Chain A
């Protein structure tokens, strides 16, 4: 059978340097924004004592959730034994590390005291899911790095199944930890639900695969390597399932809340009367981010077109940002209910919907995190053998035939 040949990309083209330069410039702008915020304090951002987490968290949580989800492609190959996905696995691991690094950079640089990173690494309150996440995030880097090593170093190939299983379990724990950041917030109506942990896992499948598809198509097009439609057909089929599953969880979450009398006012806010949040929910998250990509990918005439697959994946990412914004900002915008049945007012904005306007530095910091992820990927695929030289039809057919014969045996 055809063996899979991985090779570095040449990385000499003008396009490559343009991409690297653009990502570098955005990263520098992000770092400058962080310095500006650090120097003046968060007064220069749109964040307040009411909206305490803002745009940086929208970007950071997206990147961290997508980072764990993007590893799924590799997990399907090594944990679930689907040989077809094996050539796609190294890029999957690389993207996972790159996006997590980008997300953590944003999260860290948004801290009021980013200079106290050493404190965060030496003082732990183990009841805090944030503290546990420090271990889950750092451990993820290590586990995925070992996993990549077992995949890319021939002598270590025999261990890749075990490493893949460890990475898969670790990524489930990691996304459970990320979802639980919100799930464990008993005080707020938007959160406080055990459903958020599994929901974040399913969201990560969908976000991660959309990002994977976009990077795969771009990488093969720009490096002029062959990429068979059969590869995309499989991935797009999976994406339909993941997007639908994420939408299912969102539906169950809201339906449950609608059944709870004390949650009705919040649900009314986020689904109907809350201004930008219902708009982002229905148009961004549900229509454009979920229903439209499912329709595009499922409709045969469009789903076969590479351009439409790209559009669908971009829409999933757009919907993901809408969902993060509604979840994180919308959840805080609704006032805390201290005295049910009472109209309340105070100098500290009790009883009123809290406004939030994202500031330029916040958005720059968030984009800086995306740029860091892009730079890691651009450099890694040039320096190391992450991408198969070819994902053409004969290779894919050979893999499919092998998978069939193994299944028959």
Chain B
């Protein structure tokens, strides 16, 4: 039994497919265009455009919403930045969960600790080559290309936020270049922020239903983070150093 002969239908079929294709493209264009416009209007910025000093990205961590058993922010960070997730003394950990217990009274707290993205970062001060730097929007980063691996920034950081890459790394996220012999730390997911997304840990915390990490623009009085800081008592870790951290904690 042979199938119907479609050879005669071919030209017509192509033109029909073309029509459907053009139609789909047009519909997609109509649907996406407003989104693209919105993207431009929001904080996302095209490649080549410098970060703006008008914003200062920050986080508020509500420790009352953070639970000792939950490690979702750490897992999300490892997944996003393609870290191994290992916890040997030589493994990179950009964010870690710290368990606190008051020596008097025994009150416990659980909280994530990572780069605090200081306004006056000691790591930037001590870096001999300028590889440690602060972006205009307050994000503290390491330039992978001029880091010589001296680890002076690791000596200088009060938060133990930085890791040194002790061995070859494979399977990198193209957005987050890493490399043996260089120092690295939390980038506040700068690559996501530049696409108008929230840092991976913030999303994961929200997905877990906790919303313990509020991310936003500290310079915008209307942002949720600014409103929260204006309303509740918050603390900076090692406030005695007056580094004016972009990461603040509530409830400790």
In-complex Cβ contact of A341 among B104, B156, B160 (8 A): B104
- The answer to the question of B76 belonging to the interface, with a C-beta cut-off of 8 Å to chain A, is no
CA gap between A217 and B155 in the complex, in Å: 39
Residues of B within 8 A of A350 (CB): 96, 98, 113, 160
CA gap between A188 and B158 in the complex, in Å: 7
In-complex Cβ contact of B165 among A112, A344, A345 (8 A): A112
Over the window 170-198 of chain A, the binary record of Cβ atoms lying under 8 Å from chain B Cβ atoms (1 yes, 0 no) is: 00000000000100111110000000000
Knowing A41-B166, A128-B126 are in contact, say whether A112-B158 is a contact too (CB < 8 A).
no
- The answer to the question of B146 belonging to the interface, with a C-beta cut-off of 8 Å to chain A, is yes
Name the residue of chain B whose CB is nearest to the CB of A187.
B158
Knowing A187-B241, A347-B97 are in contact, say whether A128-B122 is a contact too (CB < 8 A).
no
Over the window 373-400 of chain A, the binary record of Cβ atoms lying under 8 Å from chain B Cβ atoms (1 yes, 0 no) is: 0000000000000000000000000000
CA gap between A44 and B65 in the complex, in Å: 41
Residues of A within 8 A of B146 (CB): 116, 119, 123
- The answer to the question of A332 belonging to the interface, with a C-beta cut-off of 8 Å to chain B, is yes
Q: Are A111 and B149 in contact (CB under 8 A)?
A: yes
Residues of A within 8 A of B150 (CB): 111-112, 130
CA gap between A26 and B154 in the complex, in Å: 31
User: How many B residues are at the interface, by size bracket?
Assistant: 35 or more
Name the residue of chain B whose CB is nearest to the CB of A51.
B89
- The answer to the question of A53 belonging to the interface, with a C-beta cut-off of 8 Å to chain B, is yes
Residues of B within 8 A of A52 (CB): 151, 154-155, 164
Nearest Cβ distance between residue A35 and chain B, in whole angstroms? 13
Over the window 333-373 of chain A, the binary record of Cβ atoms lying under 8 Å from chain B Cβ atoms (1 yes, 0 no) is: 00010110111111111100010000000000000000000
- The answer to the question of B237 belonging to the interface, with a C-beta cut-off of 8 Å to chain A, is yes
- The answer to the question of A49 belonging to the interface, with a C-beta cut-off of 8 Å to chain B, is yes
Nearest Cβ distance between residue A133 and chain B, in whole angstroms? 8
- The answer to the question of B216 belonging to the interface, with a C-beta cut-off of 8 Å to chain A, is no
In-complex Cβ contact of B129 among A123, A187, A341 (8 A): A123
- The answer to the question of B220 belonging to the interface, with a C-beta cut-off of 8 Å to chain A, is no
Q: Are B168 and A41 in contact (CB under 8 A)?
A: yes
In-complex Cβ contact of B148 among A53, A116, A184, A344 (8 A): A116
Q: Are A112 and B147 in contact (CB under 8 A)?
A: yes
Q: Are B158 and A347 in contact (CB under 8 A)?
A: no
Residue from A187, A349, A354 having most chain B Cβ neighbours under 10 A:
A187
Q: Are A112 and B241 in contact (CB under 8 A)?
A: no
In-complex Cβ contact of B158 among A181, A338, A349 (8 A): A338
- The answer to the question of B51 belonging to the interface, with a C-beta cut-off of 8 Å to chain A, is no
- The answer to the question of A404 belonging to the interface, with a C-beta cut-off of 8 Å to chain B, is no
Q: Are B182 and A113 in contact (CB under 8 A)?
A: yes
Knowing A111-B150, A188-B155 are in contact, say whether A342-B130 is a contact too (CB < 8 A).
no
Knowing A116-B148, A129-B126, A339-B252 are in contact, say whether A185-B167 is a contact too (CB < 8 A).
no
Residues of A within 8 A of B128 (CB): 120, 124-125, 128, 130-131, 134
CA gap between A38 and B183 in the complex, in Å: 15
In-complex Cβ contact of B99 among A48, A184, A338, A345 (8 A): A345
CA gap between A38 and B151 in the complex, in Å: 15
- The answer to the question of B16 belonging to the interface, with a C-beta cut-off of 8 Å to chain A, is no
Residue from A49, A53, A119, A343 having most chain B Cβ neighbours under 10 A:
A49
Residues of A within 8 A of B157 (CB): 187
Q: Are A130 and B113 in contact (CB under 8 A)?
A: no
Over the window 90-110 of chain B, the binary record of Cβ atoms lying under 8 Å from chain A Cβ atoms (1 yes, 0 no) is: 111100111111111000010
In-complex Cβ contact of B126 among A49, A111, A130 (8 A): A130
- The answer to the question of A42 belonging to the interface, with a C-beta cut-off of 8 Å to chain B, is yes
Residues of B within 8 A of A188 (CB): 155
User: How many A residues are at the interface, by size bracket?
Assistant: 35 or more
CA gap between A111 and B180 in the complex, in Å: 11
Residues of B within 8 A of A184 (CB): 125-126, 156
Nearest Cβ distance between residue A149 and chain B, in whole angstroms? 30
CA gap between A187 and B152 in the complex, in Å: 12
Residue from A117, A127, A339 having most chain B Cβ neighbours under 10 A:
A339
- The answer to the question of A154 belonging to the interface, with a C-beta cut-off of 8 Å to chain B, is no
Nearest Cβ distance between residue B116 and chain A, in whole angstroms? 10
- The answer to the question of A43 belonging to the interface, with a C-beta cut-off of 8 Å to chain B, is yes
Q: Are A131 and B113 in contact (CB under 8 A)?
A: no
Name the residue of chain B whose CB is nearest to the CB of A41.
B167
In-complex Cβ contact of A112 among B102, B126, B162, B164 (8 A): B164
Name the residue of chain A whose CB is nearest to the CB of B151.
A52
In-complex Cβ contact of A187 among B90, B104, B156 (8 A): B156
CA gap between A346 and B68 in the complex, in Å: 11
Residues of A within 8 A of B183 (CB): 112
CA gap between A111 and B87 in the complex, in Å: 23
Residues of B within 8 A of A53 (CB): 151, 155
Q: Are B165 and A41 in contact (CB under 8 A)?
A: yes
Q: Are B149 and A50 in contact (CB under 8 A)?
A: no
Nearest Cβ distance between residue A49 and chain B, in whole angstroms? 5
Nearest Cβ distance between residue B161 and chain A, in whole angstroms? 9
In-complex Cβ contact of A113 among B92, B93, B96, B147 (8 A): B147
Over the window 48-67 of chain A, the binary record of Cβ atoms lying under 8 Å from chain B Cβ atoms (1 yes, 0 no) is: 11101100000000000000
CA gap between A37 and B176 in the complex, in Å: 25
Residues of B within 8 A of A332 (CB): 155
A-B contact pairs, 14 of them (CB 8 A): A42-B181, A48-B89, A49-B90, A111-B148, A111-B149, A112-B181, A114-B148, A116-B147, A130-B126, A187-B122, A336-B159, A343-B100, A346-B97, A348-B96
**Besides the contacts A338-B237, A348-B87, what 17 more A-B pairs have beta carbons closer than 8 Å?**
A38-B181, A41-B165, A42-B181, A49-B160, A53-B151, A112-B148, A112-B149, A113-B182, A116-B148, A123-B131, A125-B124, A134-B128, A185-B156, A187-B241, A188-B155, A339-B100, A346-B96
Query: What is the interface of chain B, defined by CB distance below 8 A to chain A?
Result: 74, 87, 89-93, 96-104, 109, 113, 122, 124-131, 146-152, 154-160, 162-168, 180-183, 237-238, 241, 252
Query: What is the interface of chain A, defined by CB distance below 8 A to chain B?
Result: 38, 40-43, 48-50, 52-53, 111-114, 116-117, 119-120, 123-125, 127-131, 134, 181, 184-188, 332, 336, 338-339, 341-350, 354
